[in-house]
Structure 1
Amino acid sequence: MFKVDLNSDLGESFGSYTIGMDHAIIPFVSSVNIACGWHAGDPLVMAKTVKSAIENGTAIGAHPGYPDLMGFGRRNLAVTPAEVKAYTLYQLGALQAFVKAANGSLQHLKPHGAMYNMAATDAKLAQAIAEAVYEAAPEVILLGLANSEMITAGKAVGLRVAQEVFADRAYQANGTLVPRSQPGAVIHDPDEAIARVVTMVKKGEVTAITGEKVEMKADSICVHGDNPEAVEFVKKIKETLEKEGVTITAFKNFV
């Protein structure tokens, strides 16, 4: 039987600004990645999002990013492994406090944006993130890009790892995501994206933007729900996977 997790990035509102449609997306995913206040989110939003996840029976993950609110954490920063480790510890500890206060449990940690993409190919940054998680919360699963340095680093330090694929993003031949700045980086046709998801889950492969077949293990699928069309897309992904005989469940149940 095929099993896969559906995850979404939530808790990205802050202050007077509302970002995303958390209330609409959370019933359709099995895990959520909650922003920890640096690239997005704030303490009140963190508390509210944790509470909502627990009420919906959705697994919770910390989603730390770079201290770059203006760039939404998507700009590469010149950071050292020591800095990335400290950033990860700081934000992991913050979300852990809200989860503990709500009598919940933390399933995983998934870096955000530029931190995620840089650590996918930089072994030293990946090791820094993995060490931070292992030293602060060794029971927490590290969620990272399939086949990336984060997966290697997580296994090396003794963490459970979950490998993530993306429903609406194009891949390069080396298994990394096509940068958003390049044409074709985002797949806008819902039917094409869903067909790719089914192939990744059931066949363990995806077609790169250059035509090559890339092998990858899909433990979790990242889906976005920041507009009404995206929410419908997530619902369709879930319905299609279930029709294909795939069980949707939090990855703590099978990795």
Structure 2
Amino acid sequence: MQHKIIDINSDLGEGMGNDAEMMRFISSCNIACGGHYGDETSMSKTIRLALDHNVRIGAHPSFPDKQNFGRLPVDISSEDLKASLYEQLLDFKSILDSEGGKLHHIKPHGALYNLLKMDMDLADLFLDVTCKYFPKSILYVSPDSSILERAEHRGARCWIEAFADRNYNDDLSLVPRSQPDAVIENAAAVLAHVNPMILKGHIKTVSGNRKSISPRTLCVHGDHPNALEIARALNMNVKELNITIG
């Protein structure tokens, strides 16, 4: 049987103040690149931390909406969105190059991530930017999603992602943050949520049903109130299961 490898990622560079501590427990990070948060200073600082901890570096673009932290859909033309995504990624790549780093992956943020699950046109727009200008970068995407289907059609490399600290609906979309059971609050509940995914290839949805899922990467949100506790516990748990983090 093939030895299992799981990546643990986190959305960082978002002003939470815990980036250095989170780097100890993850193997890749997604750094805000100006759409929902971030500027040259925050990007450079987070990139240097990742390099110091030998953590793979990814860009975390979003709708251009710092006011709502990129968590709400934005009424924006296709041309303007494409230009914004290109600018965010190009700025990030320029800073990354200046720090001597390598772009490993791209992971959309917030409302953009959620809409890319179901919107084929938006998926094609996103891929128009990433495939053309950053063709060697892996895309972190949700399971059973439009972006996954379109990316595979266009030959883009993807890692299926699952959120360690978020509950899922039956269609494998995330339970909206507006609902009380959207976020998993503590480390013990996170491990109960995650272990069936990595050991048995299924997830228990918020309605109690089992759905197939085999993630290559697991995300712990850096802005979760218990992010450090969860990341530490997840890291230890994966190692205790004799699964390689990487």
Q: TM-score by structure 1 length?
A: 0.91
Counterpart secondary structure, 1:121: coil
227-236 vs 195-204, greater mean Cα deviation:
227-236
Correspondence 1:237 to 2:234:
yes
Aligned to 2:194: 197
Is 1:121 the equivalent of 2:127? no
Contact 1:2/1:247 (<8 A) preserved: yes
C-alpha distance in structure 2 between counterparts of 1:131 and 1:156, whole Å: 13
Q: In the alignment, which residue of structure 1 is the partner of 2:208? A: 211
**1:171 alignment counterpart:** 168
Equivalent residue in structure 2 for 1:42, among 35, 39, 44: 39
Distance in 1 between residues matched to 2:182 and 2:224, nearest whole Å: 19
Residue type of the partner of 1:213? Answer: R
* 1:145 and 2:142 matched: yes
- CA shift, 1:97, in A, is 0.5
Supply the distance in 2 between the matched residues of 1:53 and 1:226 (Cα, whole angstroms). 17
| Other structure's SS at 2:117 match | helix
> Residues 228 and 196 from structure 1, CA distance in 2 versus in 1: closer, same or farther, beyond 3 angstroms?
closer
Residues in 1 aligned to 2:209 and 2:81: alpha-carbon distance in whole angstroms: 33
- 1:78 alignment counterpart: 75
User: One-letter code of the match for 2:146?
Assistant: E
Q: Distance in 2 between matches of 1:144 and 1:127?
A: 14
What pairs up with 1:5-20 in 2 under 5 angstroms?
Answer: 5-13=7-15, 19-20=16-17
Residue pair 1:20, 1:227 contacting (<8 A) in 2 also: no
- Looking at structure 2, the residues matched to 53 and 22 of structure 1 have their Cα atoms a distance apart, in angstroms, of 9
Equivalent residue letter for 2:83: A
CA distance in 1, matches of 2:213, 2:31: 25
Corresponding position of 1:252? none
The residue type equivalent to 2:158 in the other structure is V
Aligned length: 244
Residue 172 (structure 1) shift: 0.5
Structure 1 runs of 4+ aligned residues shifted over 3 Å read 79-84, 225-229
CA displacement at 1:188 relative to structure 2: 1.6
Cα distance in structure 2, aligned partners of 1:133 and 1:147: 20
What's 2:54 paired with?
57
Q: Any stretches of 5+ residues in structure 2 without a counterpart?
A: none
User: Aligned ranges for residues 82-93 of structure 1 at < 5 Å?
Assistant: 82-93=79-90
Report the secondary structure of 1:165's partner residue: strand
**Displacement of 1:227 after TM fit?**
6.4
Give the superposition deviation at 1:226. Answer: 3.6
Contact map agreement 2:165 2:220 (CA 8 A) in 1: yes
Structure 1 residue 102 and structure 2 residue 105: aligned? Answer: no
Tell me the amino acid that sits aligned with residue 96 of structure 1: K
Task: Please tell me whether the aligned partners of residues 22 and 222 of structure 2 are also in contact (alpha carbons under 8 angstroms).
Answer: yes
Q: Return the alpha-carbon distance in structure 2 between the equivalents of residues 245 and 54 of structure 1.
A: 26
Distance (whole Å) between structure 1 residues aligned to residue 39 and residue 165 of structure 2:
27
Residue segments in structure 1 that go unaligned for 5+ positions in a row = 14-18, 250-255
Q: CA deviation at 1:232?
A: 1.7
CA–CA distance in structure 2, aligned partners of residues 191 and 102 of structure 1:
37
Q: Give the corresponding residue for 2:132.
A: 135
**TM-score relative to the length of structure 2:** 0.94
TM-aligned CA deviation for residue 80 of structure 1 = 4.0
CA RMSD in angstroms, aligned pairs only: 1.4
CA distance in 1, matches of 2:165, 2:224: 14
CA distance change for structure 1 residues 124 and 228 in 2, over 3 Å: closer, same or farther?
closer
